[in-house]
Amino acid sequence: MENKNTEINELLVRLNEESLQDYKIVDFWEADTTAIGIQIGNNLIYISTFNYETTHKYNVIIEKYDTGEIIEQEKEIIYNELIEMIQKIKI
């Protein structure tokens, strides 16, 4: 995505190489070059790379897609944990 930072674009390439199903990339934060979302059914994983350069971790929040209700509070996770999170979310 042109308006996103290198870390987000690298994440999107890596996600595309995974055999994940039933997810959609969404971008409600066009002005935020460090954020992207993954929609799985009625769930949204907000992913930020704001501190990625120093921590090598993503900041994620899981919320309901339609209401924005927080399902899981913000936490820092590594790539493999993000993949596990995506795989565990039920549609």
Q: What is the pLDDT of residue 16?
A: 93
Whether 51 maps to a domain, the answer reads yes
Q: How many CB atoms lie within 10 A of CB 4?
A: 20
Domain count, the chain: 1
Q: What is the pLDDT of residue 35?
A: 96
Q: What is the pLDDT of residue 54?
A: 94
Q: What is the pLDDT of residue 91?
A: 57
Whether 69 maps to a domain, the answer reads yes
What residue numbers bound the domain in which 22 lies?
A: 6-88
Give every residue of the chain whose pLDDT is below 70, as ranges.
90-91
pTM of the predicted model over 0.85: yes
Whether 1 maps to a domain, the answer reads no
Q: What is the pLDDT of residue 21?
A: 84
Q: What is the DSSP string of 58-91?
A: EEEEEEETTT--EEEEEEEE-HHHHHHHHHH---
